[in-house]
């Protein structure tokens, strides 16, 4: 996401482009696949923008979620984590959590269209999004 697209998206929702919001987005762009918590994002942003306040990062993540820039993830570790929402993915990817080493893996394949179609027909529920997490054991933990 470049500066112009970012400003446009904010404007479309009635929000302003600020240095702080840009700095938070930059951290997310520079660290793909890390599933960062708000506190982690805060500490990374501080490297390039030491004046930023923690409350601003919390507010920014809420705003980014609202306007569809990030997905809020819940890995049951007591805090929200975030990843950039990628437009050209049909749906965002799934997560595999290893119950032994707690590593998080990503699954690109979606395959839920079938199920969502059935839910629409059977329950008359229009599915807009989904969150899918698989729990189990990763290759490394199975071998050792």
Partner DNA sequence: CCATAGTTTGATATTAACTATCAATTGACA
Partner DNA sequence: TGTCAATTGATAGTTAATATCAAACTATGG
141 counts as binding Zn ion under rule CB under 5 A? yes
63 counts as binding its own copies under rule CB under 8 A? no
Contact segment (CB under 7 A) with DNA among 28-36, 47-55, 88-96, 114-122 equals: 47-55
Q: Are the C-beta atoms of 38 and 57 separated by less than 8 Å? A: yes
Q: How many CA atoms lie within 13 A of 64 on its CB side?
A: 28
Task: Residue 59: count other Cβ atoms within 10 Å of its Cβ.
Answer: 15
Distance CA 108, CA 111 (A): 10
Contact segment (CB under 7 A) with DNA among 27-35, 37-45, 84-92, 126-134 equals: 37-45
The count of chain residues that interact with DNA, using the rule CB under 7 A, is 25
Task: Residue 60: count other Cβ atoms within 10 Å of its Cβ.
Answer: 24
Task: Write each residue from 103 to 122 as x if it is in contact with its own copies (CB under 8 A), else as -, in one continuous string.
Answer: --x-x-x-xx-xxx-xx--x
144 counts as binding its own copies under rule CB under 8 A? no
How far is C-alpha 111 from the chain's CA centre?
A: 20
Residues that bind DNA (CB under 7 A): 7, 11, 15-21, 37-39, 51-56, 58-60, 62, 78-80
């Amino acid at each position: 996401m470049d500066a112009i697209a970012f400003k446009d998206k904010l404007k479309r929702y009635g929000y302003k482009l600020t240095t702080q919001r840009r700095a938070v987005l930059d951290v997310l762009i520079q660290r793909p696949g890390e599933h960062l918590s708000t506190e982690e994002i805060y500490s990374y942003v501080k490297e390039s923008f030491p004046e930023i306040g923690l409350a601003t990062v919390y507010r920014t993540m809420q705003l980014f979620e609202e306007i569809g820039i990030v997905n809020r993830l819940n890995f049951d570790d007591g805090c929200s984590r975030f990843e950039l929402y990628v437009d050209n993915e049909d749906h965002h990817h799934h997560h595999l959590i290893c119950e032994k080493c707690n590593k998080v893996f990503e699954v690109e394949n979606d395959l839920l269209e079938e199920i969502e179609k059935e839910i629409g027909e059977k329950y008359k529920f229009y599915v807009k999004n989904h969150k899918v997490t698989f729990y189990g054991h990763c290759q490394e933990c199975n071998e050792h």
